[in-house]
A and B are shown apart, each in its own frame.
Chain A
Amino acid sequence: MASLGARNPFRKLYSLLPIVLLFISVLNEFDFNYLNLDYFSFNFPFILIFFFSLKDFKHFDYFLVFLAGLVNDTVVGLPLGISSLSYCLICISTSYLRNITIRPNIIKDWFYFLFTISLINSISYSVLNLFFYYKLDLVNYVINNFFTFLFYLFFVSIFNYYLKGVND
C-alpha cells in the first residue's frame, strides 16, 4: 500500500507528460528553422494532439488542449481562437475515428491524419484569408502539411513507447 502511494505522484506526472510536451511545443515552436532548410516545417502539436486524443484520451484534457491553442495563437501572432478551434477539430475527428473503429490500423490512422490536418489547415487558411485578410503562402501550408504527415509515423513510434510505459 505504501509502495502504491509513493508510486502514484510519479505516475500522475508521467501521465501528464503529453500535455506538458504540448505546452512546451506551443510556447517554444521548435521547428528546426535555424538549420536554414528552405520550406522545411512541420506541426508537432497536430501530431501530438491527434495521437493522444486518439489513443490516450482519458489523460488528455480537451480544455488544456484548448488553452494550448490560445497560447499558440499568442506566440505565433494569429487572431486568438484560431489554433484552439483547429486543435478542438482534431479532437473531434479522433473521437469520431475512435467511435467508428473496431480494429485500429496504423496506416489507416496515418491517412486519416492526412485528411484531418488537410481539412483543418484549409479551414484555418480560409478563415485567416477571408475574415482577417492575412496574406499567407499556400505553398508553405502544403509543405507543412506534407512534412507533418511524414513525421507522424516517426513520432507515433516514440509515443507508443510512452503509452506502453503508462499502461504497464
Chain B
Amino acid sequence: MASSRDDFIIAIRSAFLKKSTQQKFSLLTLVFLSIFIILLSSLDFRVVRYLKIGINEVVYRSSFLVSIPENFLKDSFTGISDYTTFFKDYNQTKKELSKMKSNAVSNNIIEFENKELKELINDYVSTSNKILAKIIMDHDSPFLKSIIINKGSKDNIKIGTNIYDQSYLVGRVIEVNYKTARVLLLSDLNSNVPVTIAPQNVQAIITGRGDNIGHIKYMKDGFSNDLNNQSIVYTSGTGAIFKSGIPIGKLKIKEEGSTKKFNVEFYSDFSQLKYVFAEVIIKTAIENTTQNTTNNEISKPVDVKLNILEDELKIVEDTKLKFKQENENLKKIINNLNNDILDLKNNISLQKEKIEQSDLDKKEIEFLKMNLYYGHKCRRSFFNTGGFTVGSDDYKNCVLNKGRKN
C-alpha cells in the first residue's frame, strides 16, 4: 500500500518537476507562469495593457496570414453555394432595392428634421462618420463570438464603437489596439443590447445565443401578447451603449406548449461578413450667436431650458415694442394724409372759385366786346327812341343779341 502511494508521488513529482534534456523549463514553472499571467492580465496595468496590445497586433496579423488558405477554401465554398441561388437572390434583391429607395427618401427627411430640432434646442449635433473596416479574423469560436477588424485607435475607434453591416447592427468594439480592434458580435452570450420592438413599442433586452438568433430577455409581463412575427427589433439607445434606431432583426415567436419564446432573427449573417462599417462619432456643440460665450457655459439642463424661455420672452417683448412703434408711426402717417386731403380739398374749392370767376370775367369781356360793336344800336338816344337804358337787363340782352331788340 505504502509502495503504491510512493509510486504515485514519484510519478506526480516526475510529471511536474522532471525536465528532460530537450526542455528548457519544467512544467511546474510553466504552470506558475500561466497563473501569474492570468492574474496579471486581469489587473489593468498600463505596461500590461501596452504589452497586450503589442502581442495582439502581432498575433492578429500572423493569424490573418496563416488563415489565408482556409479563407480561400471558405470563400470558394460560399461562392459555390451563392452561385446556385444567384438568380433567386437577384430577383429578391431587386424588389428590396426599390423598397429601400423609397424608405431612404423618408429617412433623409426625418434625419434633416431631427438635425433642425436639435439645432433649435441648442443641443449638440453628432456627426457620425462611418469608416469601412476589413475583417482580418472571424474565427467562429463555439465559445466566444467575436471578429477582428483592421481599424484601431489610430482611426479613432474606441471601446463601445458601434459596428454595422451596411445599416444593420453587428456588434460593438470591446478591445482596441493601435491598428486592430476586437468586435463582440450580437450573437455572443455576453452581448446584451437594449431594444425596442416596433410597432408595439415594447422595451426589452436581447442577448446572443451563440448562433444567428438572439434571445429576448427582460420583457415586462403582459406586453408580449401584442407581439407578432412581423415585429421589427431595433436599438432603443437606453444606457447610451448603442445609438438608438439601428435595425437589428425580425421577431420570431416560438410556441412551446403554453409558453412562448421570443427570438430575434438577425438581419445580418455574421458568418458571411467580410467588411463592416465602424461608426466614429464626433460631437460638435452648436454655437449660440445671441449670447456671450461666457453664458454658453451652462451645464444644467434646467438652466438651459430657463435660458431658452427667457430668450423667447425677450423676443416676444421686442416684437411687441416694434409693433407699438410701427402703430404710432402709421397713425402719424394717417394724420398727415388727412391733413393733406383737407389741404387738397381747400385747394380744389379755391380753384373752383377761380374758375367761376374766370368764367364770369370771360362773359364780361365778351359783353364789353359786343357792347363796342352793338352798343349804339341798343342805347336809347335822340335818334334811337326804341333803345334801352344803359345798364338795364334789356340793354344787355340786346347787345348779346347783336343789336336785335326782340
Contact = CB atoms under 8 A, between A and B. Distances in A.
Given A36-B271, A61-B22, A92 B16 contact: yes
Given A74-B59, A140-B142, A27 B67 contact: yes
Nearest to B21: A58
Interface of B: 7-8, 10-12, 14-16, 18, 20-25, 27, 30-31, 33-38, 40-42, 52, 55-56, 59-60, 62-63, 66-67, 70, 73-74, 77-78, 137, 139-144, 146, 175, 182, 189-190, 210-211, 271
Interface SS of B by simple majority: helix
A82 interface: yes
Contacts of A29: 139, 141
Contacts of B56: 74
Interface residues of A, number: 54
Nearest to B52: A80
Interface in A29-72: 29-31, 33-36, 38-39, 41, 57-59, 61-63, 66, 69-71
Contacts, number: 153
A135 B140 CA distance: 16
A131 interface: yes
B31 A85 contact: yes
B190 A38 contact: no
A127 interface: yes
Interface of A: 24, 27-31, 33-36, 38-39, 41, 57-59, 61-63, 66, 69-71, 74-82, 84-85, 88-89, 91-93, 95-96, 99-100, 127, 131-132, 134-137, 140-141, 143-144
A31 B143 CA distance: 12
A115 to B, nearest CB: 15
A109 B81 CA distance: 41
Nearest to B18: A95
A66 B34 CA distance: 8
B31 to A, nearest CB: 5
A140 B52 CA distance: 28
